[in-house]
A and B are shown apart, each in its own frame.
Chain A
């Protein structure tokens, strides 16, 4: 017995609490020096941070600095002009219009896309027969695959396909509408009429993204135990009530993340616009900030001014993310991500 206890207790034979402390600190000291620990820090912390600083942070800082200059983009030298570019920016009608378009898109696109995605995800996972096990509609895996198709096609291809579909004279859409007897759609320019252009391009973006977010929500809903839905059903909740009161609150964090990602996309939207409305659309109704930035930099040769646009775009994007967090918190979310 004595041999056993000495084997377990500390060799110095001091009282248990202080011995415990001693062992702890000794362990820490040993760990600090291991090759494992140092290499771990190096590989997972220092190298990524160095890369991040070199390739992400420093271009940001550089761009922010250029936004304070009159750099044309093709000279090694430039003059410091202070905040003049920003002053110009907020009196520039075209840029303000582009900003307005982006903000409208950042409101409409996420709400419609995620609403539809949630609707379909619910149908496919828990919206099936109200008898027996909780399940989706019949052939739900087929719908799931089909709805993902648009996401597999690159955005630029989606844009090009739809610009053909919208073609006033030879396009599929007007072809169908005129065949149905709607003569006023003969040669109607969906992308060329200020009343329809922005909705037409938003439709394309939404069409391209619904499938992806649907799959994302399906994965989240599958993570909720089926008993929760069964309990709700026993309590007499219908499909709509289940979706609003059970599904959405339980996958709140996924919805928030989805909102942020799709909002960032809507604030950019450069690829879709480059294919559908390279010129900014009728009366600039589809012009986005990224397009205006690109034109300012490369066609007008005003890189300093373009950098100021980039900085404003970045600030708006961060503000949007902050707004989504805030709204989620106000609506009772725990606001922490990824728990």
Chain B
């Protein structure tokens, strides 16, 4: 009896341990949801120091500013540069710059615990969806109304409309620092050599496709993680064609927003190019950087829609003498509501100042330093990209044709600059990639593409647990 009982116990134990092993394996997925405790501290910022013209936010002497900076294509040295400036201007203030790659994962516990850093560069693939934290962010109007280190009011030094993408529900809470111009990119040297001209409409694009095909090349190409670059292109073209009405319908997740005539015209224009076989096949199985190298190095296709970061991203994989140049997105017709020169431009590297940070004034002072002429020129020179501060790029673009063309496009666009937020705001990109990969590969019709995109939009629109940001 005794022995039997013992044996049973051992069996139970082993059976239990196997169940535990099964539990432990699933635990990783479950435990990822757990927090480190939810202590709510609603402490206000540290008592402010003396407010003066040289210290508009009243940073306290002897305080520390904690800046957490996304370390991606731009690195963090430009932020360290700004940190040094703060230390030089405000005596006794120390700035601690910490790099981070997965912003949301790294900072989520700190937001929950109520002690976020003073200033954050919320960027990269792992950024925190602004919608989830926008109640916890400080308004930044006083930053751009302050005078910069050179004595000019910061607002007057910025490009037109740069605060708009960082404004949610009337509150300016995200300062996007690096100016991004979206365009169709091509090799100026190749186009000159072949005598091709950059297409201004989808009809012209189709015609160019035939010529390009004659030379054994493709017109367009894509990579699986970047299929939605074509969505960005399509939305930009549709907004140019149909004006603000299109933009607002999409931004406000209106029913049938993807069925608006300008949007449909663009989709049909793209579909003709795809059906004609002018798009390099296999993109849905190609890593996007490899696909981009097929364009910039192997020149297997000749046009690529992307943002201004493309030059820096492909720096090591660009054919010498490529002369990367950008052109505005094509329109559908010559009678579009916005001119062809209108530009989709927004700013990336979204800097935020949490209102619960220990040194909110310090966080704002850090942004003021970043917006100084000295820091902005330093950024433009070392990163070959413009900041939102005007006049920091010389006409030679520091020797970069891509940067030259960006500045030229911005000047030509004047006040016709637009952008939109809804894709990133509601985290739709992952779902949309699927639909676009299929469409670009020729696997779906315009109707199917429209239906797929509308379903994704409707799902967000109907979900009451997602807070909406009305746009007007």
Question: A197 to B441, alpha carbons, bound, how many Å?
Answer: 14
Choose among A70, A278, A284, A318 the residue that contacts B23 (Cβ–Cβ < 8 A).
Answer: A318
Band of interface residues on B: 35 or more
Q: How far is the CB of A88 from chain B (nearest CB, A)?
A: 8
Decide if A235 is an interface residue (CB 8 Å cutoff): no
Contacts of B11 in A (CB 8 A): 336-339
Question: Can you name the residue of chain A whose Cβ is closest to the Cβ of B284?
Answer: A192
* A-B residue pair count with CB separations less than 8 angstroms: 213
Considering only CB atoms and an 8 Å cut-off, how many residues of chain A contact the other chain?
Answer: 77
Q: Are B26 and A168 neighbours in the complex by a CB distance under 8 Å?
A: no
Q: Are A163 and B284 neighbours in the complex by a CB distance under 8 Å?
A: no
Interface residues of A in 158-196 (CB under 8 A from B): 163, 166-170, 187-194
Question: Can you name the residue of chain A whose Cβ is closest to the Cβ of B31?
Answer: A59
Decide if B193 is an interface residue (CB 8 Å cutoff): no
Decide if B168 is an interface residue (CB 8 Å cutoff): no
Contacts of A311 in B (CB 8 A): 30
A64-90 toward B: CB 8 Å interface, digit per residue (1/0)?
101100101111110001001000100
Choose among A62, A67, A279 the residue that contacts B430 (Cβ–Cβ < 8 A).
Answer: A279
Q: Are B29 and A75 neighbours in the complex by a CB distance under 8 Å?
A: no
Question: A33 to B443, alpha carbons, bound, how many Å?
Answer: 76
If A167-B287, A192-B284, A193-B284 touch, does A73 touch B108 (CB 8 Å cutoff)?
yes
If A168-B285, A188-B282 touch, does A60 touch B31 (CB 8 Å cutoff)?
yes
Contacts of A321 in B (CB 8 A): 18-19, 22
Q: Is the interface of B mostly helix, strand, loop or mixed?
A: helix
Q: Are B33 and A310 neighbours in the complex by a CB distance under 8 Å?
A: yes
Q: Are A264 and B427 neighbours in the complex by a CB distance under 8 Å?
A: no
Question: Can you name the residue of chain B whose Cβ is closest to the Cβ of A73?
Answer: B108
If A74-B111, A192-B283 touch, does A314 touch B26 (CB 8 Å cutoff)?
yes
Q: How far is the CB of B268 from chain A (nearest CB, A)?
A: 22
Which stretch of B65-73, B129-137, B196-204, B329-337 is in the interface?
B129-137
Q: Are A66 and B40 neighbours in the complex by a CB distance under 8 Å?
A: no
If A76-B113, A76-B114, A300-B427 touch, does A189 touch B29 (CB 8 Å cutoff)?
no
Decide if A216 is an interface residue (CB 8 Å cutoff): no
Q: Are A189 and B285 neighbours in the complex by a CB distance under 8 Å?
A: yes
Q: Are A74 and B434 neighbours in the complex by a CB distance under 8 Å?
A: no
Contacts of A56 in B (CB 8 A): 23-24, 27, 31
If A59-B31, A63-B33, A189-B286 touch, does A282 touch B26 (CB 8 Å cutoff)?
no
If A169-B286, A313-B29 touch, does A191 touch B224 (CB 8 Å cutoff)?
yes
Decide if A290 is an interface residue (CB 8 Å cutoff): yes
Which stretch of A15-23, A145-153, A218-226, A301-309 is in the interface?
A301-309
Contacts of A88 in B (CB 8 A): 463, 465
If A189-B441, A295-B430, A301-B131 touch, does A167 touch B34 (CB 8 Å cutoff)?
no
Q: How far is the CB of A256 from chain B (nearest CB, A)?
A: 9
Q: Are B437 and A279 neighbours in the complex by a CB distance under 8 Å?
A: yes
Question: A62 to B282, alpha carbons, bound, how many Å?
Answer: 44
Q: Are A75 and B280 neighbours in the complex by a CB distance under 8 Å?
A: no
Q: List 28 A-B contacts (CB under 8 A).
A: A59-B30, A59-B34, A60-B30, A73-B112, A73-B132, A74-B136, A75-B136, A168-B286, A189-B286, A193-B285, A257-B18, A264-B26, A268-B28, A270-B29, A279-B225, A280-B433, A282-B437, A294-B32, A299-B427, A299-B430, A301-B427, A302-B465, A307-B33, A314-B30, A318-B19, A318-B22, A321-B18, A336-B11
- Closest 9 pairs between A and B when the two form their complex, measured CB to CB: A192-B284, A189-B285, A168-B282, A301-B132, A192-B285, A59-B34, A187-B282, A76-B40, A307-B33
7 extra interchain contacts, Cβ-Cβ under 8 A, other than A74-B132, A191-B285?
A169-B300, A189-B281, A268-B26, A279-B434, A298-B126, A314-B29, A337-B14
Footprint of A on B, CB under 8 Å? 11, 14-15, 18-19, 21-35, 38-40, 104-105, 108, 111-114, 126, 128-129, 131-133, 135-136, 224-225, 280-287, 290, 294, 300, 426-427, 429-431, 433-434, 437-438, 441, 443, 463, 465-466
Footprint of B on A, CB under 8 Å? 56, 58-60, 62-64, 66-67, 70, 72-77, 81, 84, 88, 94, 163, 166-170, 187-194, 197, 257, 260-261, 264-265, 267-268, 270, 278-284, 289-290, 293-295, 297-307, 310-311, 313-314, 317-318, 321, 336-339
